[in-house]
Amino acid sequence: MKNKLLQKRALVTGGSGFIGSHLCEELLARGFKVTVVDNLATSAKSNLSAIIKNKNFKFYKGSVLDVKLMRRLIRSCDIVYHMAAAVGVKYILDNPLGSILTNIKGTEIIFELADKYHKKVVLASTSEVYGKHACEPFKEEDDRILGPVNKSRWSYAEAKAMDEFLALAYLKERKLPVVIVRFFNTVGPRQTGRYGMVLPGFILKAIQNKPITVYGDGAQMRSFTFVKDAVDAVVELSLNAQAEGQVFNVGGAANISIKDLAYKVKERAGSSSQIIFVPYAEAYKGNAEDFEDMVCRIPDVNKLQKMIGFKPEFSIDEIIDRTIDYFRKVKKCDLGGCLR
């Protein structure tokens, strides 16, 4: 049964980020008034260029760690989509302390204020929480298998898992309505390769006919989700009362190895790029002791399908083609990412 209240005032933390900006567009299209707070540390305000002048949209440059600001924004909304997080393997390895504080302390502030003002929260989590599983589809209730604490690469998975524990504790003890979504490699226009995101990194190299770098042997399996599919699922879950108190994998049907992805990007871009394989120790030079990869990240989305009838609209070829088109249209590109 759909939630009859249909909240109309949304606060999106991290709303100028890749997923957040697409989410804002979808919410506005559904009649919401949308407010964004973002510190622009790993995002760009230009991601909001299509909606920045919309009369139902407001933007605040600020941090989720700013309690005074967050109190004002949460008090005046109906639902919080908590998308703000330090993301990207490279960024996490380069900024371990700041990443942990943002991902844990920021979420603590969100839930404390949401509880005080009785606001529903949709928490963005990640497939990283599953850790080093065997290569089979992950179910929401599966055990987690993580690496040692001296590998700071796992701090992101641990921080997001603690965010989930916090959300469910508020649900249990305070009856706060929460929904948790675990994203699996969401990709598409506006995603940058600057912080280690694989698809935009491959595409940027391919359209410049420069070598496409694959880390390790490229046998790592991933499931890629087009951003429109992902945000549609998030909004549907947020408006469904039966989804409250539950965790959902949000992923696509596009399962592919990183090596095959590199060759497919090269083919669809019509590129002359050479594909080269680089050992992790070289790829993460200076941080190699902190890095450990996940062999497989593939979701079981049966629960999501049963709840909202989710079915990914975009194939891997469509995902790649649309993302290539985007990067070819932006005005200025460099090897780390594209800026408008």
Instruction: Look at residue 304 and tell me if it is in a domain.
Output: no
Q: What's the confidence (pLDDT) of residue 1?
A: 37
Query: How many domains is the chain built from?
Result: 2
Q: What's the pTM value of the predicted model, to 2 decimals? A: 0.89
Instruction: Specify whether 209 is located in the same domain as 234.
Output: no
Instruction: Look at residue 182 and tell me if it is in a domain.
Output: yes
Q: What's the confidence (pLDDT) of residue 287?
A: 56
Instruction: Specify whether 39 is located in the same domain as 157.
Output: yes
Q: What's the confidence (pLDDT) of residue 290?
A: 53
Instruction: Specify whether 202 is located in the same domain as 79.
Output: no
Instruction: Look at residue 4 and tell me if it is in a domain.
Output: no
- Domain holding 165, by residue range, is 9-186+225-251
Instruction: Specify whether 111 is located in the same domain as 149.
Output: yes
Instruction: Specify whether 284 is located in the same domain as 155.
Output: no
Q: Render each residue's pLDDT in the chain as its tens digit; 340 residues.
A: 344 445 599 999 999 999 999 999 999 999 999 999 999 887 889 999 999 999 999 999 999 999 999 999 999 999 999 998 766 666 666 777 877 887 899 999 999 999 999 999 999 999 989 988 777 889 999 998 888 888 777 888 888 999 999 999 999 999 999 999 999 999 999 987 665 589 999 999 999 999 999 988 999 999 999 999 999 999 999 999 999 999 999 998 678 999 999 999 999 999 999 999 988 777 666 555 656 667 888 999 999 999 999 999 999 999 999 999 999 988 444 434 443 3
Instruction: Look at residue 23 and tell me if it is in a domain.
Output: yes
Q: How many residues does the chain have?
A: 340
Q: What's the confidence (pLDDT) of residue 330?
A: 81
Instruction: Specify whether 213 is located in the same domain as 237.
Output: no
**CATH number of the domain within which 89 lies:** 3.40.50.720
**Residue 194, CA distances (Å) to 87, 93, 339 in order:** 11, 13, 11
> Which of the residues are catalytic?
156
Instruction: Specify whether 58 is located in the same domain as 42.
Output: yes
Q: What's the confidence (pLDDT) of residue 87?
A: 65
Instruction: Look at residue 193 and tell me if it is in a domain.
Output: no
Instruction: Specify whether 50 is located in the same domain as 91.
Output: yes
Instruction: Specify whether 54 is located in the same domain as 143.
Output: yes
**CATH number of the domain within which 317 lies:** 3.90.25.10
Instruction: Specify whether 319 is located in the same domain as 172.
Output: no
Q: What's the confidence (pLDDT) of residue 331?
A: 47
139: left (phi over 0), alpha (psi -120 to 50) or beta: beta
